[in-house]
Chains A and B, each alone.
Chain A
Amino acid sequence: MSEAIVTVGDRPIREVNKEIKAALAEGNTVTVRDTRSRHNLGVGLPEGSHLKFEGSVGYYCGGLNNGAHIEVERNVGWSVGEAMASGEILVNGYAGMSAGAAMLGGLLHIRGDAGPRCGVAMKGGDILVEGKIGYLSGFMAHAGRIIALGGAAGACADSLWGGEVWVAGPIESLGVDSKVVEPEPEEIASVEELLAGRGLADGSRDWQKIVSAQRLWHFESRDASAWLMI
């Protein structure tokens, strides 16, 4: 496999993305340079793509991912991997708001902290955050797993519909209609297996598994006051 280099600079993003796709189609591993925190880079890439962004990228990087392996050297802006179906995205720094929004499958691995609403409306796959997940993380998620090794900010798993939020470390507060349950040994084994595969094995973690309390599943308007956060 040969290596190709694509430079972003101040070029139109559509042109850059076309060049990325063309280089990947030729079987290259692509390194993207001079990224300048610009938006919409590397969207909708297919299986077998290997792509690395130098520096930081802006919003929606790796969105609609369809099997590509994407790495970002530093930070990402809003909604990295939005609606990703499969593949893997590794962010070495901080991920802005709504990381993995509406994700369907695959793995989003964030080595730093994640901003508010990480995994919002998530429908499948795994989000692994080595740092802390932000305010309202897991908001209205339907399925999938969010795993945070460095704790969670306020309103964690607010209005969780389905899926799971796993937190090692302190949780500032739980959101509405979510509850902490005792995980089964085989569930812990599954989470630890994922972590071991990422070089993060540590049997001593004290897990809090959060799931939906399912009261919102049968919403009655007369109960509306129970859901007002403030």
Chain B
Amino acid sequence: MCGIAGRILNASGKVGADLVSLMEAQRHRGADSTGFALYGRPLDSGYIVRAMSPNREALSVDLSTFEDILRQHGSDFVSDPTWDDSTTAHVSVRMIIKDPKDFAAWSHEADSISERIEIQSVGRSLEIVKDVGGAEEVAEKHGVRDFIGTHGLGHARLATESSVSPTASHPFWARPFPDIAIVHNGQITDYYTWREVLEQRGYRFMTYNDSELIAVWISDQMSKGLTQAQALEKSISEIDGVFTYLISNTETMGFAKDRWAIKPLVAIEEHGEMAVATEEQAVRMIYTGEHDIINYDGPSMTKTWRIDSLREAA
């Protein structure tokens, strides 16, 4: 059991605070770890990189190796990296980098030091913030409530299939595609079969979390030219298990649900804005009072919300 959520605003606003409320209302669904995929105002050029290092002591050495790799790919830090000032051994780092010459090549090489600095998201807009602990704890540590943006995803994890660690938390970035993130509620039963296939195709996995598989699987489909919406549709017949997952990029947010209709999803869409979550009581933290509730309860469902058109509709 896990809890997922998504939020779309019709203009830039306190999307971080809303997502914390959505996840705080679902803390009973899993407080092993909590994470957020936040979309702020997109950069015209360059990328925001969110990463995690397991060893705070070695951070400056590891960052200089990371910087060396950037320079080899025609990129560099735009400003000095920043990180959380907690006392935990692991440390979350935020960097802004110039466009590498070949994004995929840089991303591939940067992942070669993932044991020292693991990239958790790269995007013009996307920032993934995740850690062990409940929504309140993670929000407090990483200042999630102060995040201003247009949309985002949230996840509360109850680990069922793999270990609990800051890096095995959701959301997952669909590396190496900038700005694409997923959150997932469920279990993928053909995980090892798919993992082997995708590894043979050259994809790297950072964890043994079955939700990371969905992110990588989506990357593979998109590299073959499928749109996000097409990939959502295809995942229902190709991936086995019980799942409801949300996916987002800078322009759209969508979901797919398995053939068995096991994991619920509830939304309130009003005035060009939207809140979606595993449980109705979560969306009602955003929309108090009585509202029309949409229950996406059926089997084999997908939907895509357009961020831009929602803004236009408002």
A and B together in one complex: yes
B-binding residues in A (CB < 8 A): 36-39, 55-56, 58-59, 74-75, 77-78, 94, 96-97, 115-117, 134-136, 153-154, 230
Q: Does B146 contact A (CB under 8 A)?
A: no
Q: Which residues of A contact B293 (CB under 8 A)?
A: 56, 75, 94
Residues of B within 8 A of A74 (CB): 290
Residues from chain A with Cβ under 8 Å of B280 in the complex: 37, 56, 58, 75, 77
- Contact call A96/B281, Cβ cutoff below 8 A: no
Asked if B295 is at the interface (CB within 8 A of a chain A CB), the reply is yes
- Can you offer 15 A-B residue contacts whose CB atoms are under 8 A? A37-B279, A39-B281, A55-B290, A56-B280, A58-B279, A58-B281, A94-B293, A96-B295, A97-B261, A116-B261, A116-B297, A116-B298, A116-B299, A117-B261, A135-B298
A-B interface pairs (CB < 8 A), number: 50
Contacts of B299 in A (CB 8 A): 116, 135, 154
Chain B residues, CB < 8 A from A77 = 264, 279-280
Contacts of B298 in A (CB 8 A): 116, 134-135, 153
CA distance A222 to B204 in the complex (A): 40
- Whole-angstrom distance between the alpha carbons of A89 and B260 in the complex? 27
* Shortest Cβ-Cβ A-B pairs, 8 listed: A37-B280, A115-B297, A37-B281, A116-B261, A135-B299, A135-B261, A37-B284, A58-B281
Question: What is the distance, in angstroms, from A120's C-beta to the closest C-beta of chain B?
Answer: 12
1/0 per position for B7-23, CB-CB distance to A under 8 A? Answer: 00000000000000000
How close is B289's CB to chain A, nearest CB, in angstroms? Answer: 9
Q: How far is the CB of A57 from chain B (nearest CB, A)?
A: 9
Residue of A nearest to B240 (CB): A230
CB-based contact B295/A115 at 8 Å: yes
Residue of B nearest to A59 (CB): B279
Q: A136 touching B281 by the CB < 8 A rule? A: no
Question: In this complex, what residue of B is CB-closest to A93?
Answer: B293
Interface size class of B (residues with CB under 8 A): 10 to 19
A85 to chain B, nearest CB (A): 26
Q: Is the C-beta of B234 less than 8 angstroms from some C-beta in chain A? A: no
Q: Which residues of A contact B284 (CB under 8 A)?
A: 36-37
Our pick among B261, B281, B295 for the contact of A38 (Cβ within 8 Å) is B281
Kindly state the separation between the CA atoms of A169 and B280 in the bound complex, as whole angstroms.
Answer: 29
Q: Which residue of B lies closest to A229 (CB)?
A: B259
- 12 further interface pairs, Cβ-Cβ under 8 Å (given A37-B281, A39-B281, A115-B295): A37-B280, A56-B280, A75-B280, A77-B280, A78-B264, A96-B264, A96-B295, A115-B297, A116-B297, A134-B297, A134-B298, A153-B298
A38 to B297 CA separation, bound complex (whole angstroms):
18
Query: In angstroms, how far is the closest chain B Cβ from the Cβ of A95?
Result: 10
Q: Which of A36, A37, A74 lies at the interface centre, i.e. has the most chain B CB atoms within 10 A of its CB?
A: A37
Q: How close is A176's CB to chain B, nearest CB, in angstroms? A: 14
By the criterion CB–CB under 8 Å, are B261 and A136 in contact? yes
Q: Which residues of B contact A154 (CB under 8 A)?
A: 299
- The distance from the CB of B301 to the nearest CB of chain A, in whole angstroms, is 10
A47 and B264 CA atoms in complex are apart in Å by: 32
Q: Is the CB of A36 within 8 A of B261?
A: no
Task: Give B64 Cβ to nearest chain A Cβ, in Å.
Answer: 48
A26 to B169, CA, bound (A): 49
Q: How far is the CA of A135 from the CA of B260 in the complex (A)?
A: 9
Is the Cβ of A97 less than 8 Å from the Cβ of B281? no
Within 8 A of A (CB), among B229-266: 259, 261, 264
Shortest distance from the beta carbon of A28 to any chain B beta carbon, whole Å: 25
B259 x A230 contact (CB < 8 A): yes
A74: nearest chain-B partner, CB-CB: B290
Q: Are B281 and A36 in contact (CB under 8 A)?
A: yes
- The 0/1 profile, CB within 8 Å of A marked 1, for residues 37-67 of chain B is 0000000000000000000000000000000
Check B297–A96 contact: CB distance below 8 A.
Answer: yes
Nearest CB in chain B to that of A73: its residue: B290
A97/B279 in contact, CB under 8 A: no
Q: Kindly list chain B residues whose C-beta atoms are within 8 Å of the C-beta of A37.
A: 279-281, 284
Q: Hey, what's the 0/1 contact readout for B271-288 against A, CB within 8 Å counting as 1?
A: 000000001110010000
